[in-house]
Amino acid sequence: MTAEQIFFLLTAAVILIAALMVVTVRKLLHAALWLVLVLFGVAVLYAILQANFLAVVQLVVYIGAIAILFIFADMLTRRDLRDRPGQTRFNWWVAALLGLAIFVGLLSALLSVPNVNRTPAALPTDTDLVAALGTALVSPQGYVLPFEVASVLLLAALIGAVYLAGVNKKS
């Protein structure tokens, strides 16, 4: 059991427990903060895999922007600051059974892949990985088309949000 495996198991345990808390706590803001812990755990996983750029981007975008957006949405759409306990559906056990079935299915699919237990290949240490990512993003034989399409996608999201907010303002 290498140190990497121990760290992975600890992080995975934290992520799973936090994810369970997200769907079971009563106060909505607490659920948002448990989600922040899940996202932080994913960033730790990226760090264990030495994907530096993805780890910090996870923190900057997910925790710094998306989690903040969730928290704002929660606080701005309630009538008062007191939390009423959320309604639990009465057949939540059906959802739990379904979740377990999906988990078992995914696990068996994963274990049937040959060589799934091999140690990962070592990363190249001579190139700067982030610079390599950058060249891949803008070189014509790389991913330049998805790069530009991503900007159009962001533009569409922005225009959509502005339009929806404008509709609500007028009404």
Partner 1 sequence: MSFWNDPINFLADWLNGVLTGWGLPAGWATVLVYLVGITVLVVFAMVLDIGLVWVERKVVARFQDRLGPNRLGPFGLIQPFADIIKMVIKEDITPAGADKVLYNIAPVLSAASVIMLWAILPLAANIYGVDLNVGLLYVVAMGALGTLAVIMAGWASNNKYALLGAFRMVANMVAYEIPMVIVLLIPTILAGTMSVIGITEAQRDIWFALLSPLGLIIFMISAIAELGRSPFDLNEAESEIVAGFHIEYTGMKFGWFYAGELLHAFTFGGFAAILFFGGYAGFFGLEKLPAFAWLNLPLVQAFFFILKAMLGYWVIMWVKYSMPRIRIDHMLAFNWKFLVPLSLILLAATAILHKILVVLPTWQYALGMFVANIVIITATIEILRSYGRRQRLAEQRLSPQPVEN
Partner 2 sequence: MQNEWLYVGLFLIIGIVVPIVPLLIARFISPRKPNPIKQSTYECGIETVGDTWVQFKAQYYIFALVFLVFDVETVFLFPWALSLNLLPLFAVLEGLLFIGILVVGLVYAWRKGMLEWV
**Residues within the interface to partner 2 (CB under 8 A):** 2-4, 44, 47-48, 50, 52-53, 55, 57, 60-61, 64-66, 68-69, 72-73, 75-76, 78-82, 128, 130-131, 133-135, 137-140, 144, 147-148, 150-152, 154-155, 157-159, 161-163, 165-166, 168
Give the nearest distance from C-beta 124 to partner 2 in angstroms.
15
Residue of 17, 49, 129, 137 interacting with partner 1 (CB under 8 A): 129
Residue of 4, 5, 16, 52 interacting with partner 1 (CB under 8 A): 52
Give the nearer residue to partner 1 in terms of CB position, either 15 or 36.
Answer: 36
The gap between the terminal CA atoms of the chain, to the nearest Å, is: 61
**Rounded distance, CA 12 to CA 20, Å?**
12
**Residue among 43, 41, 61, 60 at smallest CA distance from 52:** 43
Q: Identify the burial level of 5 via C-beta atoms within 10 angstroms of its C-beta, where 0-12 means exposed, 13-18 middle and 19 or more buried.
A: exposed
CB 169 within 8 A of CB 159: no
Q: Does 48 bind partner 1 (CB under 8 A)?
A: no
- Pull the structure tokens for residue 137: 């993003």
**Rounded distance, CA 106 to CA 100, Å?**
10
Give the nearer residue to partner 2 in terms of CB position, either 80 or 113.
Answer: 80
Residue of 59, 137, 142, 143 interacting with partner 1 (CB under 8 A): 59
Residue of 57, 137, 142, 143 interacting with partner 1 (CB under 8 A): 57
**Residue among 46, 72, 48, 70 at smallest CA distance from 59:** 46
